[in-house]
Amino acid sequence: MKLKQAITLEKAAELLGCKYVGDANHIITGLNEIHVVEEGDVVFVDHPKYYDKALNSNATTILIDKEVDCPEGKGLLVSETPFDDFNFLTRQFSPFRPWVNQVGENLKVGENTIIHPNVTIGHDVSIGDNCMIHSGAVIGDNTIMGNNVIVQANTVIGSQAFYYKAKPSGRERMHTCGRVVLQDDVEIGAMCTIDAGVTGNTYIGEGTKIDNMVHIGHDTTVGKNCLFAAQVGIAGCVIIEDDVTLWGQVGVTSGVTIGHKAVVSGCAGVSKSLEGGKLYFGIPAEEARTKYKELAAIRKLPKIIENL
C-alpha cells in the first residue's frame, strides 16, 4: 500500500510512541508485507528467525521488536508489538469505511458495461468497458477490473484477507488494505471468492477463466490464460504462471509456485512448487509419470509378499 502523502521516520515513531534508529527525515512512502515490499516501504518483523530477511529486503524501514544494527540507508522503528503497530499504521492510512449505499464512493464504469440488479460495489472501484456483473455479486473496495470481464452471480471479489496473529487472547486479524486486480477478458464463475491483498494486490491475469465455487487467497498472482475448474482452493501468496490448468477440487498451499503450462489433475493437493509443462496428480501432487510407476510397484506388493 502506497501512502497518499509520505511521512518521516520521526513522524512514524511519534504516531506509534516508539523509538527510532536512523535519520529523523528518512522518508516512508508505503506499508507492505515482506513478499511484496519495495523501496520506501515499512515492513514488520517480530521473530529473530526473520530479522535478516526483513533487514535485507527491499523495505527501507523495518518495524522490529529489538534494536539491532541498522543497515545503511534504512531506518528502524523499535516496538514491543510490531504486528499491532503495523496494524495501527495500516488503519491510520487506510481506515475502514462502512458501506451505507449499494454503490460506494468514486465508482468508475466503462462503456457498454452491464451491472445487474442486487450487485453491491464498494469504494474506489474501477470497472472497464464491456463487462458483465451478475446479480448478487459483491465487489470490494479498490477493486480494478479491465475490459470484457464477466463476474457471475453471488461471487465476492475483494473479501478481507485470511491473515491472523495468534495471541493469548485469541486470533487478531491483519487489517486488509490491498485490492484485487482482474485484467482484460477474465471470467469468474458463480459463488467464487477472491481475497484482497493484505497490503498489496491479488492479480488474475488476462484471459483466465475460473469455474464456479473457486477460492483464491490474498496476494496470490494468477497468470494469463489459466483455467481453474470448480472447487479449486488456492491459499495466499501463491504464484501461478501463464497457461496453467487446475482441475476440480485441486488444493494449493501457500507460498508455492506452479510453473507455465503445468496441468494438475482433479482432487490433487499441491504442497510444494511444481515445474511447468508437466502433468501432476495425487496427494501430495507429483509428476504423473513418477506417480504411475509408484502405483504399478504398489500393485506388485501382494505377489512379492506371497513369495517371501
Cα end-to-end distance, the chain, whole Å: 65
How many C-alpha atoms does 28 have within 13 Å on its Cβ side? 27
**Which strands make up the sheet holding 251-252, listed edge to edge?**
120-121, 138-139, 156-159, 193-195, 215-216, 233-234, 251-252, 269-270
Length of the chain: 308
Q: What long-range pairs does 58-65 form, CB within 8 A, spacing at least 24? A: 59/32, 59/34, 60/26, 60/28, 61/9, 61/12, 61/22, 61/26, 61/28, 63/89
Which residues form the catalytic set? 218
By the 10 Å C-beta count (0-12 exposed, 13-18 middle, 19+ buried), 256 is classed as: middle
- 3-state DSSP call for residue 161? coil
E strands present in 169-288? 170-173, 179-182, 187-188, 193-195, 201-204, 209-210, 215-216, 221-222, 227-228, 233-234, 239-240, 245-246, 251-252, 257-258, 263-264, 269-270, 279-281, 286-287
Sign of CA dihedral 294, 297, 299, 302: negative
Helix (H, G, I), strand (E, B) or coil at 84: helix
CA-CA-CA-CA torsion sign (287, 215, 177, 126): positive
